[in-house]
Amino acid sequence: MQFDQGYDVIVVGGGHAGTEAAHAAARMGARTLLLTQSLESIGQMSCNPAIGGIGKGHLVREIDAMGGVMGRAADRAGIQFRTLNQRKGPAVQATRAQADRSLYRQAVRSLLDEVPALSLFQDTVHDLIVEHDEVRGVVTGMGLELRAAAVVLTVGTFLGGTIHIGDHNRRGGRAGDGPSIALAERLRAMPLRVGRLKTGTPPRIDAASIDYRSLNAQPGDDQPVYFSRWSRGDEHPRQVPCHITHTNADSHAIIRAALHRSPMYSGEIDGVGPRYCPSIEDKVVRFADRDGHQIFLEPEGLDTREVYPNGISTSLPFDVQIAMVRSIQGLEQAHVTRPGYAIEYDYLDPRDLHPSLESLQLPGLLLAGQINGTTGYEEAGAQGLLAGINAAARAGGLTPWVPQRHEAYIGVLVDDLTTRGTREPYRMFTSRAEYRLHLREDNADLRLMPVARAYGLISDAAWRDFATYRDAIEAERRRLEKTWIRPVDLGDDHGTRQLGQPLRREQSLMNLLKRPEMDYATLLSLPGAGPGPTDPAVCRQVLIGARYEGYLKRQSDQVARQARHEDEPLPVDLDYHSVAGLSAEVCEKLHHHRPATLGQAGRIPGVTPAAVSLLLVHLRRGRTRQSA
């Protein structure tokens, strides 16, 4: 049975990847269908009710600069906002928000509903339509055939999902939702590499059963913080604090005594779990000398009594979960509302993808989100955005967008995935980016809005706004460079008071701004320096540009140097053993991965910059020889 005339893009899955993908494709004008198991669970947060954090907040700002959903939804649903690393450099400062689960779902749904070219449909995909080795659509559980120029698969943890609690296990895509078995079997029958990963979630606790008197509260920031440049500043609902408690020696003893009943240690689970988001049993085993781990008690929303105890993800048997929870200060009488559990699921090896996220083996199929071996809403959303854009690009005959590592964390993410693959759930960290100082939260819009505009994701009005902002930064930079202050303008006293020392010779305002102790307000208070821009964001950009000028320039030079070699092709038949100076181990690795370019070679784990230089020398020599 065929349904309708067909679509440009079909997105399968209404999670964080799927909603960004569908939103982006439809905003580009592609007739888009978002097909998901249950329309009720669109935008559902499967695990912790929070968006952002270090590295992740960066992704949210990038998604937002591209006109995406996540930042705006988090602004409407966030019940506690914080800027992390406020005392550190701007590269690692990041925004994090606790979210009200139900408000978050609502916000996502209503942002999708604003896009005319986007249609929703509730059904489960059981198969792909493959014709002439290309993916041309999907077949649903109801037997519908739906056709499209591109299909984006974003089925998260649902493929062949198995839920574990102690030695009890059952099929499921997430607690309360069925797994995707038929589709998993079909994908395993296709020429795709499939692996198995796992992740986990903590038990939830009834706030009414928590004794908060003994716990420290952690409020959000005083100043309102926003993820989205599209938010007007009145979107936040009521703000609430979190509370902090800790596991202790008793909790750890309870866990140790029960390890043989944990599905992870008894051998029940094969899938590899996220190293950076370990279960509490992992932490107790791996950090055996620590006798306490911090737990944030995060409210699940404004209108619910459920609390998410961040830090005790577990798949121990339920009786052990209860004993462990009740050994913790403040939780002595805790009522658990949902058990913690681990989930094992199929993922597809992302090395089988182009950096556009399109399948190497099956053109027309794009993959995004947890299915590519990542973990986290932000990682999923970022990939979804990219895949959505590239699906619409395919349908509309445009060049795909392939962000580079120095342009965006999204570039780092897909480059890492598609060239290195992953053997454990991959999450974003600022340390994964070489050009951190360029990839700040605060300049995500400056980096990406021009791209977004080129792909038709930014309205005329928004683009005018942005241009005004960008021009204001440029104008202010020029103004500061051209405005000079002389010692006589200040007088000794004045100079000492405001500059911390007398001004010895004439200086441009820009040079003064570069001084580490200078802030913008002080600068503008100097005679003839004010009034300056009204938008504090403009000042911030100028300040960061001035203060980190040296570092930024050094990184730009590196990018340029890198770029020169990045695309240098490595011959397919290159005999790495013939490359002088390479260690046996590096040879082995290169031989195994067969990178297409020098850039890719350099990103294979274990291949050092020195090895890359040797490769470069080898290539040069080869060329000289050839041309000789």
Ligand X SMILES: Cc1cc2nc3c(=O)[nH]c(=O)nc-3n(C[C@H](O)[C@H](O)[C@H](O)COP(=O)(O)OP(=O)(O)OC[C@H]3O[C@@H](n4cnc5c(N)ncnc54)[C@H](O)[C@@H]3O)c2cc1C
Numbered residues of the known binding site for FAD: 13-18, 125, 180, 370
Question: 102 vs 239, which CB is nearer to a copy of itself?
Answer: 102
Q: Which of residues 304-343 bind a copy of itself (CB under 8 A)?
A: 304-306, 317-319, 322, 335-339
Strand 168-171 relative to strand 162-165, pairing:
antiparallel
Residues 3-37: b if buried by 16+ CB within 10 A, e if exposed: beebbbbbbbbbbbbbbbbbbbbbbbebbbbbbbb
Measure the N-to-C terminal CA separation of the chain; round to a whole number of Å.
65
User: Among residue numbers 1 through 30, which ones bind a copy of itself (CB under 8 A)?
Assistant: 1, 3-4
H/E run at residue 199? strand 194-201
Site string for a copy of itself, 149-188 (x = CB under 8 A): ----------------x--x-x----xxxx----------
141 sits near a copy of itself (criterion: CB under 8 A): yes
Residue 477 Cβ vs a copy of itself, minimum distance, rounded to whole Å:
42
Residues ≥6 apart with Cβ < 8 Å to 298? 48, 49, 50, 80, 98, 242, 307, 308, 309, 310
Structure tokens at 244: 């902090």
Q: What angle do CA 148, 151, 156 make, to 5 degrees?
A: 150
List the interface residues with a copy of itself, window 338-397 (CB under 8 A): 338-339
* Structure tokens given for 228: 């989205």
- Shortest distance, position 175 Cβ to a copy of itself, whole Å: 7
Q: Rule CB under 8 A: choose which of 234, 289, 303, 573 binds a copy of itself.
A: 303
Q: Which is nearer to a copy of itself, 168 or 540 (CB)?
A: 168
**At its nearest, how many Å lie between a copy of itself and the CB of residue 238?**
13
Of 54-62, 115-123, 394-402, 424-432, which segment contacts a copy of itself by CB under 8 A? 115-123
Please name the residues in contact with 184: beta carbons below 8 A apart, sequence gap of 6 or more: 159, 160, 346
Closest CA to 579 of 613, 547, 541, 533: 613
Binding residues: 13-18, 125, 180, 273-287, 370
Q: Count of CB atoms within 10 A of residue 368's CB?
A: 34
Please tell me the distance from the alpha carbon of residue 580 to that of residue 323, in angstroms, as a whole number. 61
Partner in contact with 369, chosen from ligand X, a copy of itself, none, beta carbon below 5 to 8 Å by kind: ligand X
- Smallest distance from the beta carbon of 224 to a copy of itself, in angstroms? 23
Tokens of 232: 């007007």
Binding partner at 337 among a copy of itself, ligand X, none, C-beta below 5 to 8 Å by kind: a copy of itself
From the list 34-42, 49-57, 542-550, 591-599, the region that binds a copy of itself by CB under 8 A is 34-42
Does the protein bind a copy of itself through residue 133 (CB under 8 A)? no
With 0-12 CB in 10 A as exposed, 13-18 as middle and 19+ as buried, what is 159? buried
**Residue 201 partner contact from ligand X, a copy of itself, none using kind-dependent CB cut-offs of 5 to 8 Å:** ligand X
Q: Does 144 bind a copy of itself (CB under 8 A)?
A: yes
Chain positions contacting ligand X, by CB under 6 A: 12-18, 35-38, 41, 46-47, 124-125, 154-158, 173-174, 177, 180, 183, 199-201, 277, 313, 343, 369-370, 375-377, 380
Angle (nearest 5°) at CA 535 between 439 and 219: 70
Cα 463 from Cα 262, distance rounded (Å): 54
Residue 438 CB, nearest distance to ligand X (Å)? 25
Q: Is the peptide bond before 531 cis (omega within 30 degrees of 0)?
A: yes
**Least Cβ distance, residue 36 to a copy of itself (angstroms):** 9
> What SS3 class is residue 532?
coil
Q: Which of residues 39-98 bind a copy of itself (CB under 8 A)?
A: 39-41, 44
List residues near a copy of itself by CB under 8 A.
Answer: 1, 3-4, 37-41, 44, 102, 105-106, 109-110, 113, 116, 119-123, 141-144, 165, 168, 170, 175-178, 206, 208-209, 303-306, 317-319, 322, 335-339
